[in-house]
Amino acid sequence: MLCVSCDSGDIVEQGYSVTESGRAVRLRMVVSGADQLDKDLSVALAAYADDKQYASVQRTIPASTPDGTAMDLILGNLDDHIQSAALVLAGRLRDRILTLADVDLSACADGDTLTLDLDTLQLDLYGCIQYGIFDKACIQCHATSHQAARLNLEAGHSLPNLVGVYSTVHPQMLRVKAGHPQESLLHQVIGEDGSTAVGFNHTDLVSSQFKSNLLEVRQLLDRWITNLKR
């Protein structure tokens, strides 16, 4: 569940002060799995100007954050050059690898605070893939209500439906073969030749959803598969 609101900051919670100039973005969520990310990755609340890949400013969720922690992060004093803010999976150089949730700042005036309310988020690599890839590009066809190829990729279903499970389209192939991305059907479906892997052209669909970070999406899925216990 994602709730976004824009207000003038008149209602203030204890320990939180609204910036007097510029705009602000506030993120509230409960954290799980922050300590399980690879050390070259982080999850952060980031603000972006014209460059949509590198953050102008960001606040990183520490890897040491215990499960169940209620996070309350604020990015303040955001000037007119900042066009959007997002919860992202980022690299070492503040480069955006994957967007988990984002908001448009164009409707907020100077002095306003935009609040991004999220539920409990699993911030390990698999959790980020669920929010940033499966939920964004896959569940339109692979969900409880419409399970193309008998595959449900909704949260809570994707892992047991992928890892070590043979495809109904190609019964000789595992959807995800732990430790072996090249031998996994998922890798082939979202690859450059994905249009020929199964009966539906996933290449065009994935390309349309991830115009600027398609390579990163493919590499991230391969990393996840490689890291799975065999």
Question: What is the arithmetic mean of pLDDT over 162-170?
Answer: 95
If pLDDT is split at 50, 70 and 90, which confidence band does 1 have?
Answer: very low
Amino acid 195: pLDDT: 63
**pLDDT exceeds cutoff 90 at 5:** no
Amino acid 200: pLDDT: 79
**For residue 80, which of 59, 56, 99 has the smallest C-alpha distance?**
56
**pLDDT exceeds cutoff 60 at 13:** no
What is the model's pTM? 0.86
Q: Which residues, including other chains, have CB under 8 Å from residue 159's CB and lie 6 or more apart? A: 126
pLDDT digits 0-9 by tens, 37-55: 999 999 999 999 977 889 9
DSSP codes joined into one string, 161-182: HHBT-B-SSSTTSBSB-TT-GG
Amino acid 12: pLDDT: 32
Cα–Cα distance, 191 to 219 (Å, whole number): 10
**pLDDT exceeds cutoff 80 at 168:** yes
**pLDDT exceeds cutoff 60 at 156:** yes
With beta carbons less than 8 A apart as the criterion, state whether 85 and 100 touch: no
Cα–Cα distance, 70 to 77 (Å, whole number): 23
pLDDT digits 0-9 by tens, 88-133: 999 998 899 999 999 999 878 888 999 999 999 999 999 999 999 9
Paired tokens of 153: 């990729």
